Amino acid sequence: EDQVTQSPEALRLQEGESSSLNCSYTVSGLRGLFWYRQDPGKGPEFLFTLYSAGEEKEKERLKATLTKKESFLHITAPKPEDSATYLCAVARGNQFYFGTGTSLTVIP
């Protein structure tokens, strides 16, 4: 069964305290892995796409990596404005399979 699992469900960090979010998947025929950020009351906002194992992408304090079974979103020296829910999704055909997200809170 196609499945995307994110951990942890929730994460509280002090400002400046680096950490990683995990996304593991069992989707066959993977065509890409996507990271989105979602703020309360808004739709998901695109962050990264990763297409093959070993690939890495960076944007400001965020860095996404991909292996054959999982992806990590590393957050370096986070700031309060990084607080949001981070969603992982894998693409197969014309459909996304989403994880349930990690709710990140960064405390000043």
Partner 1 sequence: KAGVTQTPRYLIKTRGQQVTLSCSPISGHRSVSWYQQTPGQGLQFLFEYFSETQRNKGNFPGRFSGRQFSNSRSEMNVSTLELGDSALYLCASSLTGQAFYGYTFGSGTRLTVV
Q: Which residues bind partner 1 (CB under 8 A)?
A: 31-32, 34, 36, 41-46, 49, 87, 89, 91-101
Report the distance separating Cα 85 and Cα 90, nearest Å.
17
Least distance in Å: CB of 83 to partner 1?
A: 17
Least distance in Å: CB of 99 to partner 1?
A: 7
For residue 83, the cross-strand partners are: none
* Largest pairwise CA distance in the chain: 42
By beta-carbon proximity to partner 1, the closer residue of 89 and 104 is 89
Report the distance separating Cα 71 and Cα 60, nearest Å.
18
By beta-carbon proximity to partner 1, the closer residue of 47 and 76 is 47
